[in-house]
């Protein structure tokens, strides 16, 4: 992450060390500087005695925030799948659906019929026809056996996919976008995507859903992706369903052409009121129990720590690490945690090759708010690094600060940032709540602007309100309409 432009072998080693700090070796795919083997977080490490499908399931859960439990939504999704199955060419196939506790906009299917759908995607959809279009698309991949034997074999080595690091070529957004782009399924071909779209529209229409759900949802997804906001809410930068499922204008156009073969707009079921009622109260955006940033401050209630990044930094929480980038891109940081044996000193740890080119003479041990810590410097070709390792509970927290030009003020700011690392109080942890979707009824005097002001989102609330509700700035709201807003 921190070493974007060094062109030699050094680059590979160093950037992999940085990128892959929490990416334990989990598969045998050959890493390049664009692809890193999959993360296998503690507790879900690959056990070769487990069946592949079970391993994949564990990896997916680990990468997408675990299961999102919501009985009402789960029932709606299962009912939708049931209707689709009955209308499909393969009513004999069985599906299982897992909701993922992830703000990303994502859905995918394993060849065994296990479907996954993120709560971020569920929140973006505005009716059951849109939901059905996504589920039917994934079922379409299963029905058409797109994940054929060859893909299945590929999966066994590169299981779900690879870390997509094309974003690295754009250092300004690269660091922040990085781990958001972590796992994508082995991509299907463009032709397969179009085929799945075609199957989806037909299946949805025969199941009684409005066949324009796909074109609406693809449009919503594209608009959501266009809300690029460095340092903002997070999901907009996500490289996810879009990367494996490009919502190109062409795909939207195709979905429209397909839909018109079945019916005119408004013919099928949308069931918007029921769907929105299902969404009321669901978690929106990052789940703070897994760590979150508010401005420069990062808090992780579950792990029980907080710290504040140096001035000018925007933070992004990812499954593997907390990443930070300073305005202008000249400085960056990464925080992750690892297990280090209690008998290994932090000095030894820093010298032991966590990253290359550590200046052994620079290592010093000290205390941060009662925790043992050690620091050192390291030098790459274009970046200089200030490293910290800090023991907290049974883990070691690793901070890497990087600067293109490591002057004294930067180094001081890095030290000051680490000195803010401390344990959160129980009271602090108890006060943290996620953002949630609320379904509200439009009143006679409501306007788009007024409703957008109720959004508990500082970053482009109006645009987010519009995208979330499938509205444009010119759309008039009718009293009695139901809309989604995001609240504390």
Choice between 98 and 306, CB closer to Zn ion: 98
Choice between 193 and 481, CB closer to Zn ion: 193
In angstroms, give the least distance from the CB of 444 to Zn ion. 42
Site string for Zn ion, 228-247 (x = CB under 5 A): -----------------x--
Element counts in the chain: helices (H) and strands (E): 17, 17
Residues 263-282 that bind Zn ion (CB under 5 A): none
| DSSP annotation of 394 | T
Helix or strand (DSSP H, E) at 317: strand 313-317
In angstroms, give the least distance from the CB of 193 to Zn ion. 5
**Cα separations in angstroms, 278 against 266, 442, 473:** 21, 18, 26
Choice between 193 and 336, CB closer to Zn ion: 193
Report yes or no: 270 and 472 within 8 Å, Cβ to Cβ.
no
Choice between 180 and 251, CB closer to Zn ion: 251
The span from the CA of 319 to the CA of 233, in Å, is 15
Choice between 193 and 331, CB closer to Zn ion: 193
Q: What is the CA radius of gyration of the chain?
A: 23
Interface with Zn ion (CB under 5 A), residue total: 3
Choice between 62 and 196, CB closer to Zn ion: 196
In angstroms, give the least distance from the CB of 185 to Zn ion. 8
Show Cβ contacts of residue 43 under 8 Å, excluding neighbours closer than 6 positions: none
Report yes or no: 262 and 281 within 8 Å, Cβ to Cβ.
no
In angstroms, give the least distance from the CB of 70 to Zn ion. 24
In angstroms, give the least distance from the CB of 157 to Zn ion. 22
In angstroms, give the least distance from the CB of 286 to Zn ion. 25
Secondary structure (3-state) at 167: helix
Angle of helix 213-226 relative to helix 190-206, nearest 10 degrees, comes to 130
In angstroms, give the least distance from the CB of 107 to Zn ion. 8
Choice between 3 and 240, CB closer to Zn ion: 240
Angle of helix 272-279 relative to helix 128-143, nearest 10 degrees, comes to 90
The span from the CA of 101 to the CA of 117, in Å, is 9
Choice between 253 and 450, CB closer to Zn ion: 253
Nearest to 218 by CA among 248, 259, 188: 248
CB half-sphere exposure, 169, CA atoms < 13 A? 5
Exposed (0-12), middle (13-18) or buried (19+): which is 267, by Cβ within 10 Å? middle
Residues 195-224 that bind Zn ion (CB under 5 A): 196
In angstroms, give the least distance from the CB of 108 to Zn ion. 7
In angstroms, give the least distance from the CB of 284 to Zn ion. 24
- Cα dihedral 294, 298, 300, 301 sign: negative
| DSSP annotation of 328 | G
CB count, 10 Å around CB of 209?
31
In angstroms, give the least distance from the CB of 137 to Zn ion. 5
Alpha-carbon 389 to chain mean position: 26
Nearest to 182 by CA among 340, 41, 300, 313: 41
Choice between 130 and 193, CB closer to Zn ion: 193
Structure tokens that stand for 323 in this block: 């990443």
In angstroms, give the least distance from the CB of 245 to Zn ion. 5
Site string for Zn ion, 181-200 (x = CB under 5 A): ------------x--x----
Choice between 196 and 468, CB closer to Zn ion: 196
The span from the CA of 5 to the CA of 83, in Å, is 51
Choice between 189 and 339, CB closer to Zn ion: 189
Residues that bind Zn ion in the complex, under the rule CB under 5 A: 193, 196, 245
């Amino acid at each position: 992450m921190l070493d974007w432009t060094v062109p030699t072998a050094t680059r590979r080693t160093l950037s992999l060390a940085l990128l892959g700090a929490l990416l334990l070796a989990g598969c045998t795919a050959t890493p390049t500087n664009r692809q890193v083997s999959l993360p296998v977080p503690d507790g879900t490490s690959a056990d070769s005695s487990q069946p592949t499908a079970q391993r994949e399931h564990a990896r997916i859960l680990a990468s997408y925030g675990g299961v999102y439990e919501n009985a009402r939504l789960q029932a709606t999704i299962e009912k939708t799948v049931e209707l689709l199955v009955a209308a499909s060419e393969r009513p004999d196939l069985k599906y299982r659906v897992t909701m993922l506790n992830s703000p990303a906009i994502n859905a995918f299917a394993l060849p065994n019929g296990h479907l996954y759908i993120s709560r971020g995607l569920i929140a973006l959809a505005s009716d059951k026809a849109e939901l059905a279009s996504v589920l039917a698309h994934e079922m379409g991949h299963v029905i058409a056996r797109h994940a054929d034997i060859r893909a299945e074999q590929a999966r066994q080595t590169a299981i779900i996919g690879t870390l997509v690091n094309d974003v690295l070529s754009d250092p300004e957004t690269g660091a922040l976008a990085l781990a958001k782009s972590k796992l994508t399924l082995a991509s299907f071909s463009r032709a397969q995507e179009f085929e799945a779209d075609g199957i989806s529209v037909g299946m949805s229409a025969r199941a009684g859903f409005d066949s324009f759900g796909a074109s609406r949802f693809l449009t919503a997804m594209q608009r959501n992706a266009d809300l690029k906001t460095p340092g903002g809410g997070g999901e907009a930068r996500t490289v996810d369903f879009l990367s494996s499922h490009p919502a190109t204008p062409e795909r939207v156009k195709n979905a429209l052409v397909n839909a018109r073969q079945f019916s005119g707009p408004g013919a099928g079921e949308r069931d918007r009121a029921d769907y929105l009622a299902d969404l009321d109260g669901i978690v929106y955006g990052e789940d703070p129990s897994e760590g979150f940033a508010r401005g420069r401050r990062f808090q992780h209630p579950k792990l029980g720590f907080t710290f504040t990044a140096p001035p000018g930094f925007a933070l992004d929480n990812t499954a593997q690490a907390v990443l930070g980038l300073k305005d202008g891109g000249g400085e960056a940081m990464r925080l992750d945690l690892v297990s280090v044996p209690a008998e290994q000193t932090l000095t030894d740890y820093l010298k032991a090759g966590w990253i290359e080119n550590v200046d052994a003479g620079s290592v010093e041990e000290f205390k941060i708010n009662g925790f043992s810590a050690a620091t050192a410097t390291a030098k790459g070709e274009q970046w200089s690094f200030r490293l910290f390792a800090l023991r907290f509970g049974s883990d070691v927290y690793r901070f890497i600060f990087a600067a293109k030009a490591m002057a004294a003020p930067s180094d001081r700011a890095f030290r000051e940032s680490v000195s803010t690392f401390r344990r959160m109080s129980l009271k602090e942890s108890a006060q943290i709540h996620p953002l949630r979707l609320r379904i509200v009824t439009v009143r006679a005097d409501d306007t788009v602007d007024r409703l957008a002001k109720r959004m508990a989102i500082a970053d482009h609330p109006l645009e987010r309100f519009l995208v979330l509700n499938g509205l444009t700035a010119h759309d008039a709201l009718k009293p009695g309409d139901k809309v989604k807003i995001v609240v504390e």
